């Protein structure tokens, strides 16, 4: 199995620390390693280094290589531009189709927190075994929900189809977009609903067939890019890849393929998992880890604060009597927001774009 770490995103919901030129996966947010280093170390415990790849944008390549010096240079899959996860995974499929159309590939986000490493290993290896047994399927790993999260998608399980090494494998009935709070509460109370972590395991030729069936606009670009990867004319291949990549619709993989595919299996797992998708979720992760609801990094002094996250730099940040507040100080931006509004930072990014404040993105 080949493991691909998806590291092409900019992590806008962790703005202003995560920026266009230095995204969140390159920051040390939950340990003394960056998020992408944590992901690499987790995979390295059971997958050989030469089988681990990173898919990233060209503008992040130099810094990503610096964070992962063990990874061979040829194991970086360089996206010409940021286009969303649909084109990114189609591009990965073309990359491996040029090597071996029957290769098994697993894609993982670069910015998740996983504390139960053995459970993670068992689930991923069971997914690999499931693909070998059911090669016409895509396998995903779903997370047992611990709270009614409205910021995540959900997977509805159907029937138990197999058990591999004590790991249960179910068919998938439905992928569900982010629900409202009342619906999310119903999902958490029902056994058949899982969080969608967007971990996908597939055989390359199967996935390419699914693109041809459900997303024909991707088909010719995938073929042309696969041929380009086989070419010995590097300059010509790079030009073809850039041209064809631009032709693929900039849509999420979940909506392009996963919500349409019928041959999908899911492995429910408890991985001690968290999606570091917002400052609020980061606060909750660190609060659980430290046993304190006041998380403060850098030069901070506070009195009578509750449930706050403060990322300070050289300038002293002093707080008194705050509750449920996020404060993040960078060289050029100071963010202050209520914790329960942290998901709205994307709207703030949109407002910055509208006002032409692109230097702050």
pLDDT in tens, 335-357: 999 999 998 898 999 999 999 99
- What is the Cα–Cα distance from 242 to 238, expressed in whole angstroms? 6
Q: Please state whether the peptide bond connecting residue 16 to the residue before it is cis, i.e. omega within 30 degrees of 0.
A: yes
The domain 2-134+197-262 belongs to what CATH superfamily?
Answer: Spore Coat Polysaccharide Biosynthesis Protein SpsA; Chain A (3.90.550.10)
pLDDT of 276 reads 85
What does DSSP assign to residue 45? T
pLDDT in tens, 64-83: 999 999 999 999 999 988 88
pLDDT of 296 reads 94
pLDDT of 337 reads 96
pLDDT of 55 reads 96
pLDDT of 355 reads 94
Question: 10 pLDDT exceeds 80?
Answer: no
pLDDT of 275 reads 83
Determine the average pLDDT of the residues in 157-183. 93
pLDDT of 21 reads 85
- Give the start-to-end residue ranges of the domains of the chain: 2-134+197-262, 282-360
Question: 234 pLDDT exceeds 90?
Answer: no
pLDDT in tens, 82-127: 889 999 999 999 999 999 999 999 999 999 999 999 999 999 999 9
Whole-model pTM? Answer: 0.91
Determine the average pLDDT of the residues in 269-273. 93
Q: At what angle do helices 219-230 and 204-214 cross, to 10 degrees?
A: 150
pLDDT of 301 reads 96
pLDDT of 83 reads 84
C-alpha distances (whole Å) from 163 to each of 171, 215, 266 are 12, 32, 12
Question: 26 pLDDT exceeds 90?
Answer: yes
Give which of 195, 192, 189, 194 is closest to 152, Cα–Cα: 195
Question: 5 pLDDT exceeds 90?
Answer: yes
The more confident residue out of 235 and 167 is 167
Residue by residue, DSSP assigns 75-139 as: GEEEESS---HHHHHHHHHHHHHTT-TT-EEEEEESSEEE--HHHHHHHHHHHHHHHHHSTTSEE
Q: Do 245 and 83 contact (CB within 8 A), yes or no?
A: yes
Question: 204 pLDDT exceeds 80?
Answer: yes
Determine the average pLDDT of the residues in 4-32. 89
pLDDT of 228 reads 95
Residues listed for the chain: 361
Residues in CB range of 331: below 8 A, 6 or more apart? 313
């Amino acid at each position: 199995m080949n493991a691909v770490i998806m590291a092409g995103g900019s992590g806008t919901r962790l703005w202003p620390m995560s920026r266009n030129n230095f995204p969140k996966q390159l920051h040390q947010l939950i340990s003394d390693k960056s998020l992408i280093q944590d992901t690499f170390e987790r995979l390295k415990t059971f997958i050989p280094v030469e089988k681990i790849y990173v898919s990233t944008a060209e503008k992040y390549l130099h810094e990503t290589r610096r964070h992962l010096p063990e990874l061979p240079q040829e194991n970086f899959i360089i996206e010409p531009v940021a286009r969303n996860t649909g084109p990114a995974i189609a591009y990965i499929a073309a990359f491996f189709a040029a090597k071996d159309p029957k290769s098994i590939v697993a894609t993982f986000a670069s910015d998740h927190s996983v504390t139960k490493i053995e459970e993670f290993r068992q689930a991923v290896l069971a997914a690999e075994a499931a693909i070998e047994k059911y090669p016409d399927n895509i396998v995903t790993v779903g997370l047992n929900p611990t709270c009614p999260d409205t910021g995540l998608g959900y997977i509805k399980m159907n029937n138990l189809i197999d058990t591999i090494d004590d790991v249960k494998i179910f068919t998938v009935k439905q992928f569900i977009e982010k629900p409202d709070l009342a619906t999310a509460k119903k999902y958490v109370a029902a056994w058949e609903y899982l969080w969608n972590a967007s971990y996908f395991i597939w055989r390359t030729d199967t996935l390419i067939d699914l693109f041809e069936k459900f997303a024909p606009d991707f088909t010719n670009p995938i073929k042309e890019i696969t041929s380009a990867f086989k070419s010995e004319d590097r300059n010509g291949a790079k030009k073809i890849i850039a041209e064809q990549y631009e032709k693929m619709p900039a849509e999420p993989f979940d909506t392009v393929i996963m919500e349409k595919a019928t041959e999908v299996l899911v492995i429910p797992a408890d991985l001690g998992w968290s999606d570091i998708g917002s400052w609020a979720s980061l606060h909750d992760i660190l609060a659980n880890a430290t046993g304190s609801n006041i998380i403060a990094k850098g030069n901070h002094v506070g009195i009578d604060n509750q449930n706050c996250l403060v990322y300070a730099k050289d300038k002293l940040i002093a707080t008194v009597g705050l509750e449920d507040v996020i404060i993040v100080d960078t060289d050029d931006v100071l963010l202050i927001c209520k914790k329960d509004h942290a998901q709205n930072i994307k709207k703030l990014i949109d407002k910055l774009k509208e006002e032409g404040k692109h230097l702050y993105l």
